[in-house]
Structure 1
Amino acid sequence: MSKITSLVLLSIGLCFNFSCQNKSESLMKKYAWIPTECAPKDYPMRVYSGYLYYGKEGNAYVPGDKTINYGWGALGSIEISGDDLKEAPDTLDLTWISFTENKNYTGKFPLNVKLIDSLLSAGYPAEDIPAGHEDFCYFQVGMAPGGVVVLWLSGPGKQIEVGRYQGKETNDVDWKSKIPGYDGTMKEYGKDIIAGLPKDVQQQIVDNKIPYGKWDHWRRRFNWKPVITGDVNILRLTMFMFNKEMDFLIGKRLNPVEYIQRGAIEKLYIFWVDHKKREMRSQIDFDEAETDQLFSALKPGENCDLLLHVTNDGEVTVNLKTAAGIIPFKKAKINTYLR
């Protein structure tokens, strides 16, 4: 084959590949999403610099102009950034301070873009709205002591973890540029924040007993499903897990057949209608230590049922059905209200 012929074929091949790449890029789906931030209530943080990168050159910043202590997995600041429609993010670049540790952390974390894109594309069913479908719209960037970072994707009534990352300590920060009106050091700044924390947390700091590992401990998943019975009309079940995922069941999905890997249950709401056609709401708040004990006793891969029974007079019982038998949640707090 002549050199000229080889060059022509190579040029055609390069043009074909470039054309396919352009076509692939132009067909990449885009979505409406916004970054937000959170940290455990008693372990405040502040973002020095944070960005979610997407596409070729796109980025949306993680809000960072205030102390963050809204609660682990809770919705934080809402600030519009980046394009109106964006591809699924592929990288999280984050630098922040943990006040209770007096440490700065940083990390550039590659995200599971295929998983995230599939979730953004599919959304989730919502039979209680005309469209019958909801979209994810927030990326919750969570920071916990020890440099722990968790990323959740959330929308109305739904939140799911899409990644856990580990930051490393850094001193390459210039907080004066971020808080120009403050004349003291960041250690002094942090002391003022710590002074407002509960006394037991302040003592943890003094004793070097911050509960590292707590937030990873609650990331464990178990095979369970809710089973709802009773003589009332159940409308909806909303569940909050200790790993800060959230889910709801409505309509045909109220009594699922399949077991799903979920975090241990933290709180739930049962929405139901009594015989007088009054809409009611029952709230169950689970005790952290008791729930940890019951779920930790499960064998690896064991299926269990969260048994919920509601009577017309508002009595609600909750038990965990495991291979060992039916175990009541004795410390759960149960309250029923007119919705």
Structure 2
Amino acid sequence: MGISKLKILILFVVCSFSLASCQNKKMEEKYNWLGTISAPQEYPMEIYKGAIIADDFTYSFDAIWGTQNTGWGNEGGTMSVSTQNMNIPSQLEFTWYSLVENKFYTGKWDLDKDKIAELFKNGFIDQDTKKKTTYNNFIVGLAPKGRVVLWINGPGNQKEVSVFQAHDTVITKEKAYENAKYMLKEGFADRMLNDPSYETFKPEVRAKIKEQGYPAPGIYDVYRERYNWKPSVILPDGAEWIDFGFKNYNGEQENLFGESLHNDSYQKRAVPKFCGFYWRDKSKNRYAVWIDSFDEKEIFELFQKLGKEDNIDFVIKVDNDNAKASLSLKTKTQEVSINKAKIRLSQKIE
């Protein structure tokens, strides 16, 4: 083969690869998404700077976000942007000040674009519209000891995307940018944590901290442990189970109805934190049941007792007039009662 023909062949191959690369970039699906912050109610975090980064767009965080502690897995506020249809993000970076620990953390991590793309593509059916939709928000969770969790969120649904570990860092008043210097003022953390006039904590959270102390920092990893379970509702004869919405201690959330309720199976899920559902009796009267909260110690001990190997039914048995409900966890070989949950039951809903 002559030198000129070899050059042409090489050029053809290079151009082919370049064209394929360009086509792949053009074919990548784009979605509308924003970002927000989550931190435990007992562990307020002060935002220093951060970003969710895509090839064509960066969603930024800085000190304007202030103190965040909406509750683990709960959304904070969002900043609107003019950009529409962004690429799937590929990186996350974050630096924050943990007030209770009096320590800054920082880190930068690559995101699993394939996993995020699959979540966006699969989406879910919106119960209100009965149409397929998808996620529209990323939630960056900041926990003690530098633990970071990234969730993806949409109406009634929330999934854990990734978990990361940040490392501690030192930021001095001289090093900090102007709008963040307030974090380095002497006594700032102490005032935020201990002066009730700052309203950093809700009164009930402050009272709980005073009585029990701060939660063990490792609890946010315990929350992520999964068991093979599904909800199982036992209703009076002739009644119809309509839906089941629940959020778990690890921040994930599901909304089952219609086909997703009918086809629900045992899945590796974290321990439920609260849940609720509607049902109709044989006369088509509608009722609601809400388990507003569990006793955390009890519910975790019961799941741990049944273990991660067996399938577990989370059983809710409702009496004829929706005046009483009993809760239990059940496997093929044993059943344990849940006794300390806070349950609300509706009267007939017109």
TM-score, with normalisation over the residues of structure 1? 0.91
- What's the counterpart of residue 255 of structure 2? 248
CA distance in 1, matches of 2:59, 2:221: 27
Q: Does 1:267 align with 2:303?
A: no
> Equivalent residues in 2 for 1:230-245 (5 A)?
230-231=235-236, 232-245=239-252
Most deviating of 108-117 and 1-10: 1-10
Letter in 2 for 1:237: F
- What's the counterpart of residue 211 of structure 1? 216
> Equivalent residues in 2 for 1:1-339 (5 A)?
1-55=1-55, 57-62=56-61, 64-65=63-64, 66-81=66-81, 83-131=83-131, 133-172=132-171, 174-175=175-176, 177-179=178-180, 182=182, 185-195=184-194, 196=196, 197=201, 198=206, 201=209, 211-231=216-236, 232-256=239-263, 258-274=265-281, 277-284=284-291, 285-314=293-322, 315-338=324-347
Change (3 A) 1:261 1:175: same
How far does residue 128 in structure 1 lie from its aligned partner after superposition? Answer: 4.5
CA distance in 2, matches of 1:22, 1:266: 46
Contact between 1:37 and 1:63, CA under 8 Å: does it hold in 2? no
CA distance in 2, matches of 1:80, 1:126: 23
Contact between 2:140 and 2:151, CA under 8 Å: does it hold in 1? yes
CA distance in 2, matches of 1:74, 1:118: 23
How far does residue 200 in structure 1 lie from its aligned partner after superposition? Answer: 5.8
SS of match in other structure, 2:117: helix
SS of match in other structure, 1:26: helix
Q: Deviations over 1:197-230 (max 9, x none)?
A: 526636988xxx7612110011001101111221
Contact between 1:33 and 1:137, CA under 8 Å: does it hold in 2? yes
Change (3 A) 1:236 1:92: same
SS of match in other structure, 1:42: coil
How far does residue 326 in structure 1 lie from its aligned partner after superposition? Answer: 1.4
Letter in 2 for 1:300: K
Change (3 A) 1:334 1:200: closer
Most deviating of 79-88 and 114-123: 79-88
SS of match in other structure, 2:35: strand
Change (3 A) 1:204 1:305: closer
Most deviating of 167-176 and 69-78: 167-176
Most deviating of 237-246 and 300-309: 300-309
Change (3 A) 1:24 1:147: same
Q: Deviations over 1:81-100 (max 9, x none)?
A: 37311121111011111000
How far does residue 189 in structure 1 lie from its aligned partner after superposition? Answer: 1.6
- Root-mean-square deviation (CA, aligned residues, Å) is 2.2
SS of match in other structure, 2:118: helix
How far does residue 188 in structure 1 lie from its aligned partner after superposition? Answer: 1.8
CA distance in 1, matches of 2:187, 2:68: 17
Give the unaligned 5+ runs of structure 1. none
Letter in 2 for 1:292: F
How far does residue 159 in structure 1 lie from its aligned partner after superposition? Answer: 0.6
CA distance in 1, matches of 2:207, 2:320: 43
How far does residue 46 in structure 1 lie from its aligned partner after superposition? Answer: 1.6
Instruction: Give 1 or 2: higher helix fraction.
Output: 2
Q: Deviations over 1:320-339 (max 9, x none)?
A: 10244111101112111245
How far does residue 253 in structure 1 lie from its aligned partner after superposition? Answer: 2.9
How far does residue 185 in structure 1 lie from its aligned partner after superposition? Answer: 3.1
Contact between 2:63 and 2:179, CA under 8 Å: does it hold in 1? no
Deviant stretches of 4+, over 6 Å? 202-205
Q: Deviations over 1:280-305 (max 9, x none)?
A: 22111221111110111233322111
CA distance in 2, matches of 1:60, 1:213: 29
CA distance in 2, matches of 1:331, 1:324: 23
Most deviating of 76-85 and 28-37: 76-85
Letter in 2 for 1:331: K
Change (3 A) 1:321 1:211: same
Contact between 2:48 and 2:62, CA under 8 Å: does it hold in 1? no
Give the unaligned 5+ runs of structure 2. none
SS of match in other structure, 1:146: helix
Contact between 1:226 and 1:255, CA under 8 Å: does it hold in 2? no
Letter in 2 for 1:78: T
CA distance in 1, matches of 2:229, 2:252: 14
